[in-house]
Structure 1
Amino acid sequence: MAIPDYKLSTVLCGHSMDVRCVASTKEFCILSASRDRTAKLWHPEGVKDFVNVVTYQGHTNFVSCVCWLPPCEAFPDGLVITGSNDNTILGYNLQDGTVQINLKGHDNAVCSVTPGKDSGILLSSSWDNTARAWNINSPQMAPVILRGHQAAVWASIELGNCTYATASADKTIKLWKKNGELITSLTGHTDCVRSLAASSNETFLSCANDASIKLWTNKGECLNTFYGHTNYIYSISVNPGVEHGFASCGEDGSVRLWANGDCVRELRLPVHSVWSVTCLDNGDVVTGSSDGLVRVFTKDPSRYADEATLVQFEEDVQKMLVASSQDFGGFKLSELPGPEALLDPGKSEGQTKLVRRGTNVKCYSWSVAQNTWNEIGDVMGAQPASEGKTMYQGKEYDFVFSVDIKDGAPAIKLPFNKTEDPWVAAQTFIHKNDLPQVYLEQVANFIISNAKLDSLPAASSNGFADPFTGESRYVPGAGSAPAGVVAASDPFTGAGAYTTGSNSSVSVAIGKPLLPHDSYIRFDQANLKAIYDKLKEFNSKVGDGLSTFTDEQIEDILKLGELNCTYSPDTITSLKKMLEWPKEILFPVLDITRLAVRNKDINGQMFDTTYGPTFIKYILSLLVPDSLPANQMLSMRVLVNAFSDLPGEMLVLAARESVMNSIICLPQLSNNAQIAATSLLLNLSVALAQQPDSVDLADCVINLLNRITDKEAYFRGLIALGTLLAESPSKLVIQTKIVSNPHLHNKLKTDSATVADTHFAKITSCSQQIMRLL
């Protein structure tokens, strides 16, 4: 059966981050849930328009799922149900958005909510490896818990034969009786199963990260497998207007429409990730995607968007296709893996891996000694290099690369001979084209990768010699040079003092643009012997009921502070128990923790989906005004170093609102605490500069800049503010905030004057660049 031509009908703008879920309610209304912590109700208006009539708020983290629960005994008007990464489920009045119910019980993010067939029954699934069946008519009743999966449960539905089905990251689907008794476990998918949909009273559909869709009987027999997507499939929805029809969407940026087992339409969107799809009763198809937009597609010509909108949409799709097919060191963007690829260890020293981050590509190198992937830098797209002797400006070169530096700007030619030092060629390219000095790392590695150099000239074979100064280069992600050790006494005993690590440093090249900053910083320096002595001393003072440790166990914990350490799982368990020590003797434990989380594997264990959320909450509990100053400072250093790998980065970003509120509420800060706070805001700025909600972060940075007195801290705060100013889509709002803050604005004007002092030279350069951006 052919499906009529679907075209874009309308685009719903209102969310500021990814739309992770879309659903429908009565009267063709649309529900959407977003990482911006809200859900929205869109009401149809006219032939094809929708209006956001209610915004549902109350969650403290990403809203990951939404559904409409039809009227039931307790709530005769029905409820809008949302699930969140804050582990809770909220139910709202449809019309005014007031919270009617708050369901707690899941121990991790709630990723799916859907109504059961019986009145008042709500099914939820979670990263805590369980699904639950709640009776909304009797909220005091404990839910039925479906327990048996070995990994996150991504979806749960009720089938036509009154049994439940759950889909999990453990690659299985399980069928359950309504009392929670397991019936059977279905295998067949080879990767995480993401979504389920009841296709008839006798059958249901599943989709997975293995890019396949399967049709099952309600008893568990696989009837068919459908292929068409080229990447993860995230969502599936039955299409009521098509016989045996359904829609699916995924990581390949497309929605596919199916009929009788055949993919009969492909709708391309100008995004990488289409997170969710749902079909309305009138046959329209609704999507939620990574660009924060809800789109409606229709087969009814009367609801097509106007011609100009359709043309613009197709142009946007083509631009995305071009970006996806752009060559990055011999690979296409669409072919590259996402950050999850960094979870797999490398096979040999120096092995490189290209990883897609949105429309950008990062290059990572495997370190056997550190047992981690180290970020080398961005990989810039290029047209195929012309190999062999190529004439450029009257000279012959082995390669003449065409390098895209900026969207909309013409490519810049980069000539290179294999006999050249790639670092010298990169530096020459930067000077000639007046590019930021921070590009040195990226350009040099781009040359090495694309010229396929088997070996490097002796002068740069170690990769650490600045070709012009002969001094060590700054390497993002590696241990930075100390910015000076600040003497500190034990804040509690006054004896046996040790410094909690000298400051990390920010790479600076005076006269060259500092902004925007594009790599995370961290605190690497430490006196491990002093930490060991303090841990032993405090170990003897731990009160009853808390864990104490042998000297050997303390030595093992101390080794976690070494970047290339080897350790046993028991040592991580010991560190977690040591973090339960009384807060007045906690600071050396926090110090060793901030060193430990630099290690990829330890970062993954401290910030995993089981322990991580609890750990983040505990760290935030130390960032309160009445907390001990040393704990405040070291807690911020832990959060700074959490950015050393993806799990820590993701959890800190998820908790960023609480982090910012904590920093704003902290009273008088020591110099070390000021540096820790601005370092944390700098890392947040690097991560969030291009996000719409970066205005809140700018407010926090401005607040702190008006309070701090330490020069190094002030410089880092300026780098954070300048990075936001340079890259934020809300640049005009941030400009207004700076200009309307007379204390900061006047200080920026004053600091723009040239001064001889080393710290002031950095501040002067950065202030000048911020003033130019204003």
Structure 2
Amino acid sequence: MPYKLSATLTGHTADVRAVASPTNDLVLSASRDSTAVSWVRNTDAPGFNQSVTLRAGSRYINAVTYLPPTPDEPLGYAVTGGQDTVINVFALSANSNEPAYSLIGHTDNVCALDSAPGGLVISGSWDRTAKVWKNFKLLYDLTGHQQSVWAVLAIDSQQFLTGSADNTIKLWSQQKNIRTYPGHTQAVRGLALYTDIGFASCSNDSEIKIWTMEGDLVHTLSGHTSFVYSISVLENGDIVSGGEDRTVRIWRDGECSQTIVHPAISVWSVSTMPNGDIVTGCSDGVVRIFSHDDSRQLPGEEQKAYDDQVASQALPAQQIGDVKKSDLPGLEALSSPGNKPGEVKMIRNGDNVEAHQWDSASSSWQKIGDVVDAVGSGRKQLYEGKEYDHVFDVDVQEGMPPLKLPYNATENPYVAAQRFLDAHELPMSYLDEVVRFIEKNTGGVSLGGGPQYSDPFTGGSRYQPAQAGAAGRGQDYMDPFTGASRYRAAPTASSVTPSTSPPRPAPATSSKVIPVRTPLAFRQANVSAMQAKLHQIDQSLRNEISTSSLAMYPQERTRIDESFAFLSALVSQLAHWNNPPPGTKPPTPRHLDAISALLERWPRESLFPVMDLGRLLLAFCQNFSQDTPLKHRFFAAMMNASSWKDPWETPLSRSRETNTLFFLRALVNTFQDTLYDDEAWVKSMLQDIVQQPYSNLTKAQRVACATIMFNLSCIGLKEPLGPELAAYLYNLILNGLQEEKSDPEAAYRALVAIGNILYAAKERGQKPSAEQLTTVKQCMSSLRSTFSDDRVKNVSSEIEDLLR
């Protein structure tokens, strides 16, 4: 009997990344909406009900497994893992968002979980390790993979299998690696025990392999046309697999016996019930159950509705293969039977191209979608163990190998560009050029949406990109900070070729880094786009009766425009920000007061271009930092506008996250020269900053905080900081270093700051206490083991030398 739809479980609002079905009456699902759900079979009607929703973290939940009942917990436990790096264990009978246990130890995304009798859990992570937990405590660390561990399987309480993005599978006896299975050519994504033979594996190479435990490859099953993400084995020995080609495939005796197409881009996870039913979790946020038992299958009209939903999908040409419409046959081609289950045939139907798949169960061709052109919707690519829609080769310097630029079609190009520049220590002055490279090579098409784009922070101000080849017109782009306000970019080649080396804090002629005497500043921006966005928001406020009183007054508008004129003169005159060109009239305190007035009056979600303007002026007008009352007024307005002291509920809204970042960057820019005898205010600002836990901050916010500390340490090399401020700053940096586990750039800047402070103290004959010596040495040792970055290791060694 072929498998047909049995139940559709809706409730998640984002991709369902993992499912588990330990019994015929229980399904667990985990989603990118930051929840896990327990679904229980109805006792008096067909289908399942949402029993418990677990708020399993603040970020994506990517893995779930089940621990059976115990005397203390009659319903068993749901175990979840995700981007928060914590594994949470929930007692299902408690119906509570508070985990009964939290397993802490991974330092990156937890992407795989499995369990074994006796309360044993095994986890896999992007931190390249697997961990085995027993009775909710760490039992073994399994270290040896060179890339992310994407798949884990508990064979019993002593033996484990792990699959990795390094393309290998490893067998472990307790914590000892006793065998490695090479054979897959791309990341291993799923593992399942295979009765009487050994185990099965699936991979991004689109193949399924069956192995003996001794390492012999018994079968290779080919049929999927893209990544195979998940695999499970039915009690009768049939294999079930799901992947990026939208299908679940059922394999019997080495052949695909049935293909089930889903109305989604990805089938992320498959699981099997003891009764033989199949559970799937997909990118459309839906959990589906398919049954071979007709008593559990949905009625005919509901089956047809599902088939129609599948047939209405738009398939990108890259997912099916190259398409030349004139060479395709017409509808008459569907009169010939297919050669094997799952075979796909494309035909012309008028002006449309349709994809049909051979269904051996009904001996007919089933339409699975309309073929369209798209970018970024085809086979994903792997980079450093993680998946991206695109991985570009970027030529940075002639004669040197290209750098890899990973990019997902759903993300802001500026986020990807900044990540690329940070990773390769390239100057931020190349930001716009890298974005143009991304835009040109992706065509600006995003998954799941049309050709429109929205402001990355507010979601509004949508615009239509210019079409390629439009007469004399270039492509429109978004400013990295202000979003949808457009500027016209000059044409560029399809590669990025910076001609200068990235600046480093250390002098080029020195073999050592410490001391670093030159503070850093956040000076990059697109001034014209910032100005256009600010005026656009002002006009929107002016046009509504309820908000018209908030709009800029004439004098404010004049001062705002004069500020932009000053910054525009810098942009047009200088390739690198320096002093204003001769004849440029710098802004006065009244200009900064006009910005403060808008910060106090405008809605917070509309403030980002105003905050950005203030941040930028501080970088070039040091007189603002000298004027103590002016500075105090401005930063009080900035802190209030950023909602810094409000309750911090992660993830923050995009507008608040951005406003917070500009507030921190403004502080960086004000600490450039001296403290102007204002140490009490500096300390009060630092005390306000540490009100928010370091772990709540994003990477960019942590880098900004570290840069504040670094700049203060540079000032401390020129002028002695007061003992109270120096001690507070020292302890603040150390605390941050102890909490920083993931970002080498934030760690590096904070390390140099500690180095500067110790260097200045040594020059002045001051010695750290024995307790300080111990704390710093422990911190340096921990950082070297946490980060592989050579800069972190080298500066840690320099700091230890300063302590001698």
- TM-score, normalised on structure 1? 0.52
Kindly indicate whether the alpha-carbon contact (under 8 Å) linking 1:488 and 1:497 is maintained by their aligned counterparts in 2: no
User: Mapping of 1:426-445 within 5 angstroms?
Assistant: 438=484
Deviations 1:210-243 (A, max 9, x none): 22222111122222222222222221111224xx
Q: Shift of the alpha carbon at 1:205? A: 1.0
1:38 aligned partner: 35
Find the aligned partners of 2:315 and 2:134 in 1 and give their Cα distance.
Answer: 50
Tell me if 1:283 matches 2:461. no
1:394 aligned partner: none
Find the aligned partners of 1:352 and 1:260 in 2 and give their Cα distance.
Answer: 41
User: Mapping of 1:364-403 within 5 angstroms?
Assistant: 374-376=434-436, 377=439, 379=443
Distance change >3 Å, CA 206–CA 499, structure 1 → 2: farther
Distance change >3 Å, CA 379–CA 441, structure 1 → 2: farther
Number of matched pairs: 501
Find the aligned partners of 2:411 and 2:294 in 1 and give their Cα distance.
Answer: 33
Q: Shift of the alpha carbon at 1:102? A: 0.9
1:195 aligned partner: 190
Kindly indicate whether the alpha-carbon contact (under 8 Å) linking 1:161 and 1:218 is maintained by their aligned counterparts in 2: no
Find the aligned partners of 2:291 and 2:379 in 1 and give their Cα distance.
Answer: 30
Tell me if 1:114 matches 2:119. no
User: Mapping of 1:20-59 within 5 angstroms?
Assistant: 20-45=17-42, 48-57=46-55, 59=57
Residue 78 of structure 1 aligns with an amino acid whose one-letter code is G
Residue 625 of structure 2 aligns with an amino acid whose one-letter code is S
User: Mapping of 1:282-321 within 5 angstroms?
Assistant: 282-321=275-314
2:696 aligned partner: none
User: Mapping of 1:323-342 within 5 angstroms?
Assistant: 333-334=377-378, 340=388
Residue 294 of structure 2 aligns with an amino acid whose one-letter code is P
Find the aligned partners of 1:32 and 1:571 in 2 and give their Cα distance.
Answer: 35
Kindly indicate whether the alpha-carbon contact (under 8 Å) linking 1:490 and 1:497 is maintained by their aligned counterparts in 2: no
2:179 aligned partner: 184
Same amino acid, percent of matched pairs: 26
Instruction: Please point out which of 229, 247, 271 is paired with 1:254.
Output: 247
Find the aligned partners of 1:208 and 1:333 in 2 and give their Cα distance.
Answer: 19
Distance change >3 Å, CA 11–CA 257, structure 1 → 2: same
2:704 aligned partner: none
Distance change >3 Å, CA 274–CA 67, structure 1 → 2: same
Residue 716 of structure 2 aligns with an amino acid whose one-letter code is F
User: Mapping of 1:496-535 within 5 angstroms?
Assistant: 530=673, 534-535=712-713
User: Mapping of 1:98-137 within 5 angstroms?
Assistant: 98=96, 101-108=100-107, 109-116=109-116, 118-136=117-135
Tell me if 1:577 matches 2:751. yes
Secondary structure at the residue paired with 2:89? strand
1:267 aligned partner: 260
Distance change >3 Å, CA 188–CA 465, structure 1 → 2: same
1:220 aligned partner: 215
Distance change >3 Å, CA 181–CA 381, structure 1 → 2: closer
Q: Shift of the alpha carbon at 1:42? A: 1.3
Larger radius of gyration: 2
Find the aligned partners of 2:413 and 2:712 in 1 and give their Cα distance.
Answer: 43
Deviations 1:18-67 (A, max 9, x none): 22211113343211122333322212225641111222345444332222
Task: Please report the RMSD computed on the Cα atoms of aligned residues, expressed in angstroms.
Answer: 5.9
Find the aligned partners of 1:307 and 1:245 in 2 and give their Cα distance.
Answer: 26
Q: Shift of the alpha carbon at 1:160? A: 7.0
1:536 aligned partner: 714
Q: Shift of the alpha carbon at 1:200? A: 1.4
- TM-score, normalised on structure 2? 0.50
Q: Shift of the alpha carbon at 1:250? A: 1.9
2:4 aligned partner: 7
Find the aligned partners of 2:730 and 2:414 in 1 and give their Cα distance.
Answer: 44
Unaligned 5+ segments in structure 2 are 319-369, 454-463, 478-482, 495-525, 533-564, 578-608, 639-653, 674-707, 734-742, 758-784, 789-804
Deviations 1:112-171 (A, max 9, x none): 33222x4332323333333233332xx5x6512222223332222233796211122222
Kindly indicate whether the alpha-carbon contact (under 8 Å) linking 1:22 and 1:287 is maintained by their aligned counterparts in 2: yes
Find the aligned partners of 2:8 and 2:745 in 1 and give their Cα distance.
Answer: 52
Distance change >3 Å, CA 348–CA 24, structure 1 → 2: same
Distance change >3 Å, CA 240–CA 360, structure 1 → 2: farther
Kindly indicate whether the alpha-carbon contact (under 8 Å) linking 1:88 and 1:105 is maintained by their aligned counterparts in 2: yes
User: Mapping of 1:623-702 within 5 angstroms?
Assistant: none
Find the aligned partners of 1:82 and 1:533 in 2 and give their Cα distance.
Answer: 41
Find the aligned partners of 1:147 and 1:336 in 2 and give their Cα distance.
Answer: 27
Instruction: Please point out which of 143, 148, 172 is paired with 2:168.
Output: 172
2:89 aligned partner: 91
Find the aligned partners of 1:352 and 1:175 in 2 and give their Cα distance.
Answer: 32
Residue 251 of structure 1 aligns with an amino acid whose one-letter code is E
Deviations 1:601-658 (A, max 9, x none): xxxxxxxx9779xxxxxxxxxxxxxxxxxxxxxxxxxxxxxxxxxxxxxxxxxxxxxx
2:395 aligned partner: 347
Q: Shift of the alpha carbon at 1:570? A: 9.8
Unaligned 5+ segments in structure 1 are 383-402, 407-411, 428-436, 451-462, 504-515, 550-568, 584-608, 613-774
Tell me if 1:232 matches 2:227. yes
Deviations 1:53-104 (A, max 9, x none): 2223454443322222224566565333223433333333333435674142
Instruction: Please point out which of 380, 396, 409 is paired with 1:357.
Output: 409
Find the aligned partners of 2:78 and 2:415 in 1 and give their Cα distance.
Answer: 43
